[in-house]
A and B are shown apart, each in its own frame.
Chain A
């Protein structure tokens, strides 16, 4: 997989690596059983301090996204996909919340915000390509009035 690291966007570099690995698993770019590159290889490839990469890998291990395969390195766990989907969903909710918050802070009423969101949804529905394993796999809840 390819990483896209931006030291300047306010998110700690190790956190960017963690998120991107999780998204890659959710997207099917990284599959269960696949090995992650070694700390050394990845740190040179990304031109990032190896301790930062090690920290990201430690977090991924602790959170059960990957596990140590004796003598080979870290491999993605088979039960990681569900978890990574969940992580992606959480992040999307956060972003949505941030956008709504900004709209409300800017002076829009709840009614206006809801209308804008439904408008946008109407424009986008059916026009956006979905990833391999979409987040909304649970039965959709009924729309609020």
Chain B
């Protein structure tokens, strides 16, 4: 199965700033890939490169088999993807209906009808001018435009930032509808709770590099938070025996909290035996804790698992 997205060695250097310092990512078709990163980690730059709005300093990128740096191919690509950014650029003077009509000229037959269906579903009045819309309504117009041509790949760059929970929920449901029909979704977001619900694979971007990547379920199962109580804060803990390893460590008073890749209970048991350890407990790390560990303090580049081929939708599909 060919990857929907294949990114290799992408770098982006500006004067005085290295936005991306070597990104490798692949996304299998029919899956939802979410990238997390702080503001300024390079997520939007990466998406601009993927959609052909920017040429990378180095590296290659293949989206749906097309190269966004090549003029002919990028036009073809834009017909096959849907893109929603966090502040959608729309013609303010047009009405909701007019912008749909305008956009339909770029796509094959059927766009207008499907666009009408979407704006009806999202309760958007066709005669209202874009400049009169609320933030949530603007985003829904952008989403309708992005979905009306039934794209193979939906790219979302923090589409729900600043939106109320109801609109966020509507976006989530559309993402899932798209994924349920076998299309691919590439999402950049801060909303960790949403990512936990919707992503198949996640990648954590920090300082222009991918710090952690892998299937979300595997990541959560293989990462634990171990809290160790010590008799003295100066005591050091031994590294874990292979194949487990410490991803991050924080000391607070006489306690250490470690993010461990591997069996948390085994790690806790191992450290419990060490000199000066009063107790050790393990629990599963939340995605938020994982994110904070990867982007703060002693974060080290760690590849957990290779993104595997997604399981195909089986039981219950009617």
Asked if A36 CB lies within 8 Å of chain B CBs, one says yes
Q: Convert A10-51 into 0s and 1s, putting 1 for each residue whose CB lies closer than 8 angstroms to a CB of B.
A: 101110000000000000000000001111101110111111
Q: How far is the CA of A55 from the CA of B26 in the complex (A)?
A: 23
Are A10 and B176 in contact, with the CB atoms below 8 A? Answer: no
A12 to B221, CA, bound (A): 8
Q: Are B315 and A57 in contact (CB under 8 A)?
A: yes
| Interface contact A37-B220, CB-CB below 8 Å | no
Question: Per a CB cutoff under 8 Å, which of B193, B199, B318 touches A38?
Answer: B318
Q: Is the CB of A47 within 8 A of B318?
A: no
Q: From known contacts A12-B217, A47-B198, infer whether A39 and B313 are also in contact, taking CB-CB under 8 Å.
A: yes
A35 smallest CB distance to B (angstroms): 9
Whether A8 contacts B286 by the Cβ 8 Å rule is: yes
* Cβ 8 A contact of B314, one of A43, A48, A57: A57
Residue among B176, B194, B200 with the highest chain A CB neighbour number at 10 A: B176
Pairwise interchain contact A47-B196, C-beta atoms closer than 8 A: no
* Residues of A contacting B310 in the complex (Cβ-Cβ under 8 angstroms): 51
Q: Does B316 contact A (CB under 8 A)?
A: yes
Confirm or deny: B311 has a beta carbon within 8 angstroms of a beta carbon on chain A: yes
- Contact A49–B315 (Cβ < 8 Å): no
**How many chain-A residues does the 8 Å CB contact rule pick out?**
33
Does A54 interact with chain B (Cβ within 8 Å)? yes
Given A12-B221, A39-B180, A55-B311, are A49 and B200 neighbors across the interface (CB < 8 Å)? yes
B179 close to chain A: CB less than 8 A:
yes
A44 to B173, alpha carbons, bound, how many Å? 5
**Among candidates A8, A10, A72, A74, residue contacting B315 with C-beta atoms closer than 8 Å:** A74
Interchain CB contact under 8 A, B318 and A72: yes
| CA of A28 to CA of B285, assembled, Å | 35
A104 to B250, CA, bound (A): 30
* Chain B contacts for A50, CB-based, 8 A: 176, 179-180, 313
Q: Place the interface of chain B in its size category.
A: 20 to 34
The reply to whether A47 and B316 contact each other, CB–CB distance below 8 Å, is: no
Closest Cβ of chain B: how far from A143's Cβ, in Å?
34
A42–B197 CA distance with the chains assembled, in angstroms: 13
A60 and B313 CA atoms in complex are apart in Å by: 15
Residue of B nearest to A42 (CB): B316
Interface membership of B284, Cβ < 8 A: yes
Bound-complex Cα distance A105 to B180 (A): 46
- Indicate whether A51 sits within 8 Å of B316 (C-beta atoms), given known contacts A10-B284, A12-B220: no
How far does the alpha carbon of A49 sit from the alpha carbon of B287 in the complex, in Å?
16
Does B313 contact A49, Cβ atoms closer than 8 Å?
no
CA–CA, A57 and B220, complex, Å = 20
Residues in A neighbouring B311, C-beta threshold 8 A: 51, 54-55
Q: Does A101 interact with chain B (Cβ within 8 Å)? A: no
Taking the closest CB of chain A, its distance from the CB of B186, in whole angstroms, is 14
Q: In whole angstroms, what is the CA distance A52 to B316 when docked?
A: 12
A8 with B317, Cβ < 8 A, contacts A49-B176, A51-B311 known: no
The verdict on A39 contacting B217 (CB below 8 Å), with A44-B173, A47-B198, A48-B176 known, is: no
Separation of A11 and B200 alpha carbons in the complex (Å)? 17
Check A44–B221 contact: CB distance below 8 A: no
Given A7-B193, A47-B172, are A39 and B198 neighbors across the interface (CB < 8 Å)? no
A contact residues around B197 at 8 Å (CB) = 5, 7, 13, 46-49
Residues of B contacting A83 with CB < 8 Å? none
A43 to B200 alpha-carbon distance, docked (Å): 13
Complexed CA–CA distance, A79 and B262 (Å): 38
Known pairs A38-B318, A47-B173, A51-B31. 19 more at Cβ < 8 A? A5-B197, A7-B193, A8-B193, A8-B286, A12-B220, A13-B196, A38-B317, A39-B180, A40-B180, A43-B179, A47-B194, A47-B197, A49-B197, A49-B199, A49-B200, A51-B311, A58-B315, A73-B317, A74-B315
13 A-B pairs, CB-CB below 8 angstroms? A8-B193, A8-B286, A10-B283, A12-B217, A13-B196, A39-B316, A40-B181, A43-B179, A44-B177, A46-B197, A49-B197, A50-B179, A74-B316
Interface residues of B (CB under 8 A from A): 31-32, 169, 172-173, 176-177, 179-181, 193-194, 196-200, 217, 220-221, 283-284, 286-287, 310-311, 313-318
Which 5 A-B pairs give the minimum distances between C-beta atoms? A57-B315, A7-B196, A40-B180, A50-B180, A38-B318
